[in-house]
Chains A and B, each alone.
Chain A
Amino acid sequence: MTFTLDGHDIPFEPGQTVVQAALAAGHYIPHLCYHPEFQPHGSCKVCTCTVNGRTATSCTTPASEGLEVASETPEIQEIRRDLVQFLFTEGNHFCPSCEQSGDCMLQAVGYELGVVTGHYNPLFPNRPVDASHPDVLLDTNRCILCELCVRASAQIDGKSIFALSGRGITKHLIVNAESGRLGDTQLATTDKALDVCPVGAILRKRTGFRVPIGRRTYDARPISQVTVEPAK
């Protein structure tokens, strides 16, 4: 069984989504909230493709025989650039001082799409930093609301430490403690929730900047290559 992605035949197994089959076949589709170990979420919209002529998030679209998927068209790439620019200008993303720089998926997807400016007027929101946990720093300035920590904490760690609250532009990440502080939760350094943040919102303390510039995840190769050939 196959579908086509930008003219390439992509084989798939029943139950796979378009993104899953594409990545397995070595074809990168930009994404942020999709993670292979979790149920698709479809919220960041960066994996948007044209599927049989209609735009759809490819992480939530089941692969099916004969689908015609277009990913790297100028129109779709422009939509993705816009989405990434929205994320950069809605939060406070100052890469030079961020420990995640070089390992950050938002940054790497920006590079991949040729984003050189936020384009929109930045909102400079006033968002809190929570350093109350002895081993973990939570900087919501960088949160892109992908809910990967929410999913990991609930589904794998069984703790439900994180959640999103609010609607629209006021939506934000909250911590499940009476005080609202990370230090008052059962978050442990072995929790999956610590390893899934695609940006620098959830960070282990005392590990920042250990890997020198030039040897970070996306320094040598772009995310499109790292994602489909991680071990190279």
Chain B
Amino acid sequence: MNPERPKRKLRVATTSLAGCFGCHMSFLDIDERLIELLEHIEFDASPLTDIKTPGQCDLGLIEGGLCNAENVHVLLNMRQKCRILVAMGACAINGGLPAQRNHLDIRDCLQTVYLTGVGLNRGFIPNDPELPLPLDQVHPLHDVVKIDYFLPGCPPPADAIWQFLTDLIAGRTPQLGHGLIHYD
């Protein structure tokens, strides 16, 4: 190993599935530390770069759970392309707020929202073939693929995201102490 050799930057992809983009907002909330971070990483597919499909990446950060077929497709592709996959935030970890529909029948949900709800006139359940089909229940990511790390919080605090990423970049197992592990 030549210690002089410049370190290759880690390629990082991020995506939001059934989430609210709050985790991405919290990520941006590391503020000027983003500049320091960019000395160690470069973004691949991400809402921040507007690149839609990931190439080979070292790290994938995924916000949101799985509520439809497209979410599953994106997740499987991310798992294929990313060496390390991270479930970021409450929804990715346990389904979060969207999973609170899980005890309801999906057909009843759609009928109430689009057909029988108060104030609806001549509504119909959207059926455009481009719309991804909803799943009967919302699932956390680890229900479908292997997840390497979990970063809890709704959203995870910026300091937790920073701690997590700097640990990972330094080759350490990320350790979040009291105040950085949050489920809310």
Beta-carbon contact of B142 and A117 below 8 Å:
yes
How far, in Å, is A73 (CB) from chain B's closest CB? 19
How far, in Å, is A175 (CB) from chain B's closest CB? 20
Q: Does B100 contact A (CB under 8 A)?
A: yes
**A114 to chain B: closest residue by CB:** B181
Beta-carbon contact of A124 and B103 below 8 Å:
yes
Beta-carbon contact of B178 and A94 below 8 Å:
no
How far, in Å, is B134 (CB) from chain A's closest CB? 15
Chain A residues whose C-beta falls within 8 Å of the C-beta of B94 in the assembled complex: 88-89, 93-94, 117-118, 122
Beta-carbon contact of A96 and B154 below 8 Å:
yes
A117 to B154, CA, bound (A): 13
**A124 to chain B: closest residue by CB:** B102
Q: Could you give, for residues 110-139 of chain A, a 1 whenever the CB lies within 8 Å of some chain B CB and a 0 otherwise?
A: 110011111101101111000000000000
Beta-carbon contact of B97 and A96 below 8 Å:
yes
Chain B residues whose C-beta falls within 8 Å of the C-beta of A160 in the assembled complex: none
Beta-carbon contact of A117 and B150 below 8 Å:
yes
The 10 tightest CB contacts between A and B, nearest first, are: A95-B183, A96-B154, A117-B150, A126-B103, A124-B102, A116-B150, A101-B184, A95-B184, A222-B178, A96-B184
Chain A residues whose C-beta falls within 8 Å of the C-beta of B176 in the assembled complex: 114, 116
Chain A residues whose C-beta falls within 8 Å of the C-beta of B95 in the assembled complex: 122, 124
A119 to B181, CA, bound (A): 16
List B99-124 residues whose CB lies under 8 Å from chain A: 99-100, 102-103
List A72-104 residues whose CB lies under 8 Å from chain B: 88-89, 92-98, 101-102
How far, in Å, is A161 (CB) from chain B's closest CB? 25
**A98 to chain B: closest residue by CB:** B184
Beta-carbon contact of B99 and A107 below 8 Å:
no
Chain B residues whose C-beta falls within 8 Å of the C-beta of A95 in the assembled complex: 90, 154, 183-184
Beta-carbon contact of A96 and B96 below 8 Å:
yes
Q: Does B163 contact A (CB under 8 A)?
A: no
**B93 to chain A: closest residue by CB:** A117
Chain A residues whose C-beta falls within 8 Å of the C-beta of B182 in the assembled complex: 111
A121 to B102, CA, bound (A): 14
Q: Could you give, for residues 125-163 of chain B, a 1 whenever the CB lies within 8 Å of some chain A CB and a 0 otherwise?
A: 000000000000100101100010111101000000000
A–B Cβ pairs within 8 angstroms, 15 of them: A92-B103, A94-B90, A94-B94, A95-B183, A96-B97, A97-B97, A98-B184, A101-B183, A111-B178, A116-B149, A117-B93, A117-B142, A117-B150, A121-B142, A122-B99
Q: Does B87 contact A (CB under 8 A)?
A: yes
A102 to B178, CA, bound (A): 12
